[in-house]
Amino acid sequence: MSDLKHECGLTAIYHLQGGTPSPLCPPAGPNEASRLIPRMLLDIQNRGQLSAGMTVWNPDRSQLLATHKEVGSVSEVFRMSHRGKFESLMEQHCGPAAIGHVRYATCGAEDRGYAQPLERPHIQKRKWFAFGFNGQLANYPELREEILADDDNHLARENDTEVILHAIGRELAGDAAPTPTEVLATLARRFDGAWNLALLDACGQMIIARDPLGIRPLEYAQHGQLVAAASESVALLNLGFPPESIRSLEPGTALIIDGKTARVERFAEAPRRAHCFFEWIYFANVASTMDERSVYLSRKRLGEELARLETVPIDEDTVVVPVPDTSKAAADAMAYRLAIPSVEGLIRNRYTGRTFIDGAASRRQKAESKYTPLREVLEGKRVILVEDSIVRSTTMRVLLGRMRTLGRAREIHVRIACPPIIAPCFYGIDMSTIDELFASRFLPDGRLTEEAQAEMAASLGAESLRYLPVESVARSIDLPEAALCQACITGRYPTPAGERLYQLAASQSETVGRTYETATRG
């Protein structure tokens, strides 16, 4: 799935006033808690490598909010390989509170103007804020049209983040001074889709909010006076927060920090959940736990599901090979249940970068250099190749070809630890047209049959191919199907705007751009 793109990741840190400084704080002290943000962002770099940034609040300087952001990886943006430049950046952007962001573009251009956090300066401190956004608004086209209906309005960027910026600004306008929960309640009534927010204002107030469906994960923790939040628990665990202190923010609630206290408040009712199942299957770090469900254990159970369905004859020349790295837990579990070796027949070059950053041709070139087949492991073997999913099939085709020509594998049987992707995602994963999806061409009615899988195997150049059935997902994650968003494998969307975009995508005879971008033009 290296040709699949995620959206963004959030981090936040706040050292509360008073009390004993947390031992987790940097040696420089509570007023430089912001130094922890780059370290946290590195732990969620898997969620976006296009740009990175942070905004820091410091009441002891005239520039109350200071934002640093750039296109590039976390280490590039924060100059982490150059000690002097990194220290200079940290000195310029120091403070007791900060928010951070990593981004991949599900909409909008690849330039610094789209990097986050976005900052909105204002003469009044409560109206001067910066925020980062994780997710995607399915009703972005309608919100954009609503803003531009007034000829006096203008949007400089083509993405939903700027729409959110103006929506928050509108709620803060005037003299009413609404509470954070009042602002978020209004946004919840207007927004359709996935929208986790980390907001910091010039008064030193921080708001970490999770949308009422909980589509994207959001974790938080407190240890003494230090409070932190991140899209994934691994960023908190690696800072030193005890595992028992890390919690998932409930959908429809916000962590609100005013400098001296941190509290969780509900801003919207959340009668149902729609957690994105892909978080457990692929996107999240395998060391993370989200909504009290371990990513590693979920992937392990997916492998056990694959083993239960396996029909390939097993002999002494049969091996299981994972596609590095996120397939390893599933592959190992599958091999253990089948009592055959799980071997590293593909070695990943970790310095080529993630292929999702580039276009299709470049993705293919990078895939060719990214994985090296080991002939010593593969030659003459019947290989059961385990992968997380097939989206566009670019990487899989390259892998199969190289495993045959360079690895000299005798047979390759592809096993996918996920059901077929048959429908677009409009909640933050960049697969928004139907005809780009490999499986949709073979499953026009959505039914997974042996005949269809045989056709797909022949198309890829494999001896056989097998997907997991939809019901395996909920069993593996250990959540009821009703609590998961499985729109991309079922065609059933948890929100009205998502359903409308799917109908639009289904009606398009050919790819003319991402569906939500087409909607803004149509």
Q: What is the set of active-site residues? A: 8
- What single-letter DSSP state applies at residue 252? T
Half-sphere exposure of 39 (CA within 13 A, CB side): 15
Side by side, the strands of the sheet bearing 226-230 are 65-71, 51-57, 97-103, 8-15, 226-230, 219-223, 247-248
Q: What's the rounded Cα separation, in Å, for the pair 52 and 117?
A: 8
Q: What is the CA radius of gyration of the chain?
A: 23
CA distances from 124 to 120, 256, 355, 412, 481 (A): 11, 20, 44, 64, 46
* Both tokens assigned to 98: 């900060």
Exposed (0-12), middle (13-18) or buried (19+): which is 447, by Cβ within 10 Å? exposed
Comparing CA positions, the residue from 264, 237, 242 lying closest to residue 253 is 264
| Angle ∠(300,305,310) on CA atoms, nearest 5 | 125
Q: Which residue has the tokens 């780059």?
A: 38
The DSSP H or E segment spanning 331 is helix 328-338
